Amino acid sequence: MKIYQVGGSVRDELLGLPVVDRDWVVVGATPEDMVRAGFKPVGRDFPVFLHPQTNEEYALARTERKTAPGYRGFTFHAARDVTLEEDLARRDFTVNAMARQAQPEVIDAPLIDPFNGARDLRNGVLRHIGPAFSEDPVRILRCARFVARFGFQVAPETMALMRTMTLAGEVDALVPERVWQEVARGLMEREPVAMIALLDEAGALARVAPELAPWRLASGAARALAAAARADLILAERFAALCSDLGVGAVDRLCARLKVPNDCRELAALYVRHHEKLQAAASLDAKALAELVRIADGLRQSARFSALIAVTSVCSRSNDSRAALARRRLHAALAAVQGVDAGEVARQASTPLAIQAALRQARERAVADAIADIVPGA
């Protein structure tokens, strides 16, 4: 039995990046051998085990064979005679197909690199290992996500293969949950615009998210998404920036298609529904600002309204000072409306209609007072 550290953790160590999770492959063992050594079996489709002390995952070396369309149509073979190179050969990119033998007495075990992954890593290239790459359409999404994370280029032959996969309909077999999982992770990377651009170049964007295709790097959404990444915004805010050029109907269709979580869906829909007033916040009067807080449900969902302000800022096409003014006025309006004592106002009115009118007037006065001291450029 030999144990090897493999995959992304080896890649990240070579890049000098922090390693959170390590993947391990065991060569020359059976499931029975692993259990006798104290490992706990957890794999459903193929033999994976948890280390008795560290709880890290250890998988038996395996090969795989395509048996049906889509990313689930595989059968796996794990046995003592499966070699490390055979296991590495089934992986996606050369940079993810490197290994080191686990040798406690050796600090830096020699790199095992049968597919020249270290060379591609130095050159910043994502290159598929072999024709088996085309058997799993998830790899197109992973390629796009890695481009967003590392800023790598895609080898021409890999791009050509991904286009062929798309034309062959492999991407159509992806389930919405898996697409969203990869897209969401990519949106949180350093360069999420590069992910969307690569999916478009490969032809996959029109299949998995046609509402976003064709993707234009000079579009407002591309600029907004890049700004959202620079500002380190959360996922819901980045998704809203991605959708900022769409109409309400297109956002609804996209979210239904990908089964987007409610927090992302609601924020994106709210922004595209009210973007004109939000972008005009620098010049709105107190009445309009108070009404904007109301129709955007800022009283009940103040955190979401604050997220809406963040999206408005990255989507702004105004100069920095005007965008800052809009942001300050929106935050001030939200705080002012929240600060009105609705119970006290209601006690001084005689009918439900009078209460509504009094509340509206009280909130408008509060907003007017709050924005009175906000000076442009201050």
**Quick count: other Cβ atoms within 10 Å of Cβ 51?**
16
Has residue 125 got a pLDDT over 60? yes
What local confidence, expressed as pLDDT, does residue 106 receive? 53
Query: 282-320, pLDDT tens digit by residue?
Result: 999 999 999 999 999 999 999 999 999 999 999 998 788
| Residue 185 banded pLDDT, cuts 50, 70, 90 | very high
pLDDT of 350 reads 81
Percent of the chain with pLDDT over 70: 94
What gap in Å lies between CA 271 and CA 240, rounded to an integer? 7
Give the residue-averaged pLDDT of 198-210. 97
Report pLDDT for 132: 87
User: Is residue 111 pLDDT above 80, yes or no?
Assistant: yes
- Average pLDDT over every residue of 154-169: 96
Task: Give residue-wise pLDDT tens across range 266-275.
Answer: 999 999 999 9
Specify the pLDDT at position 259.
97
pLDDT, position 107 = 59
Token output for 374: 């906000």
Contact 256, 280 (CB under 8 A): no
Instruction: Say what the pLDDT of residue 270 is.
Output: 97
Pairing of strands 74-78, 99-101: unpaired
For residue 72 the two structure tokens come to 């689930």
**Average pLDDT score over residue span 176-181:** 96
Tens digit of each residue's pLDDT (9 = 90 or more) over 41-93: 987 767 899 999 888 999 999 887 655 555 555 566 778 889 999 999 999 99
Model pLDDT for residues 217-257, shown as the tens digit of each residue: 999 999 999 999 999 999 999 999 999 999 999 999 999 99
The per-residue DSSP string of 239-303 comes to HHHHTTTS-HHHHHHHHHHHT--HHHHHHHHHHHHHHHHHHTTTT--HHHHHHHHHHTTTTT-HH
> According to the model, what pLDDT value does residue 280 have?
95
Residue type, 79: A
